[in-house]
Chains A and B, each alone.
Chain A
Amino acid sequence: MFKHCVLILAFVIALPSFAVEPDEILDDPILETRARDISANVRCVVCQNEPIDSSNAGVARDLRLLIRERLVAGDSDDQVYDFLVARYGDYVLFKPPWRPSTYLLWLAPFLILGGGIIGMVYALMRKPQNPHAGLNADEQAQLDELIGSNNEGDAT
């Protein structure tokens, strides 16, 4: 029983592991939070789909330390991002900035959605062809003739 409890407890209190090492963490909790937020948004250039916050690569650690250094020196978050973008390009940001080269990227979902809505409205607004609409004059004449000849046949 005790063993099971320990096991369950171990699962419950298990926390996700982070690459941030104890010696990197700043004493000031506010700055540290900002640093964590920034590093969660910065791509590791070695292991490309990981943020530097959770990457064990050497460059990622260097960048984490650098971000903290700059924050301690009084940089704003934007200044830190600008510093990184100047060296590694927009590529290091997980959230690409709004600028002419990324307009299409940001707008594509809305364009596709808009196209879909227009298409649907068009399809729904189209006048449905009523299969039960009345006969036209030719058809009516033909029908009358058929019914007429039929009646005549009955009479005789």
Chain B
Amino acid sequence: MKRILMTLPMVLVLILGAFLYWGLNPDRNPNEIPSPLLGKSVPDFTLAGIDGVDVGGFGSAELSSGGIKLVNVFASWCVPCRAEHGVLIKLAARENVQLYGINYKDKPTDAQQWLAEMGNPYAAVGSDFSGRVGIEWGVSGVPETFIVSPDGVILYHYRGPLVGDTALRDFGEGLRRAREQIGQS
């Protein structure tokens, strides 16, 4: 009994240490919101296109065929989206992926202007003025980007702009794993 009691302080220190190691890890983001949609099919939706944009709208049907797709949620009023836009243009050109845009809670005229000014990397852009489709996708704030498998399953969810080394590394890793997953299955 005494032996057991004597090891107790060490056991407590180890438990506390493990907890602090986990809790104080600089890579851990305590604000991270889990994505319950990962591994599930894309939600059922259809979005109309935006007048004056040369690509049309899209819906679940378009996301359930073809190759790997990226779905980007953006808005003209969102400053980080502006920073991210150049990255999206490069991504769409360089990687063998199709980029879809959900224009979240944005006036269609503003979105049209934004795309005309900044360039349009999207294969299709749908207008989600009410934000309802955003809720279906579990969007908490723009920008967010999803990786969708050829058969319409959500493989990866990135919250925040794809700007900076950390974001690009994480997203690139997500894309690589998505490709692996598809190659295997």
Contact = CB atoms under 8 A, between A and B. Distances in A.
Interface of A: 45-46, 48, 58-59, 62-63, 66, 85-91
A62 B135 contact: yes
A87 B36 contact: yes
Interface of B: 31, 33-37, 105, 130-132, 134-141
A48 B30 CA distance: 11
Given A45-B140, A46-B140, A87-B136, A58 B131 contact: yes
Closest 3 CB pairs of A and B: A45-B140, A89-B36, A87-B138
A62 B33 CA distance: 18
Contact of A45 (B33, B36, B105): B33
Given A58-B105, A88-B36, A91-B34, A46 B141 contact: yes
Contacts of B139: 59
B140 A85 contact: no
Contact of B33 (A58, A86, A91): A91
Contacts of A87: 36-37, 135-138
Given A46-B140, A59-B140, A89 B35 contact: yes
18 contacts: A46-B141, A59-B131, A62-B131, A62-B134, A62-B135, A63-B135, A87-B37, A87-B135, A87-B136, A87-B137, A87-B138, A88-B33, A88-B36, A88-B138, A88-B140, A89-B138, A90-B34, A91-B34
Contacts of A59: 131, 134-135, 139-141
Nearest to A84: B135
Nearest to B137: A87
Contacts of B141: 45-46, 59
Contacts of A88: 33, 36, 138, 140
A45 B138 CA distance: 9
A48 B36 contact: no
A46 B135 CA distance: 13
B158 to A, nearest CB: 15
Contacts of A90: 34
Contacts of B37: 87
A11 to B, nearest CB: 36
B1 to A, nearest CB: 9
A86 B34 CA distance: 11
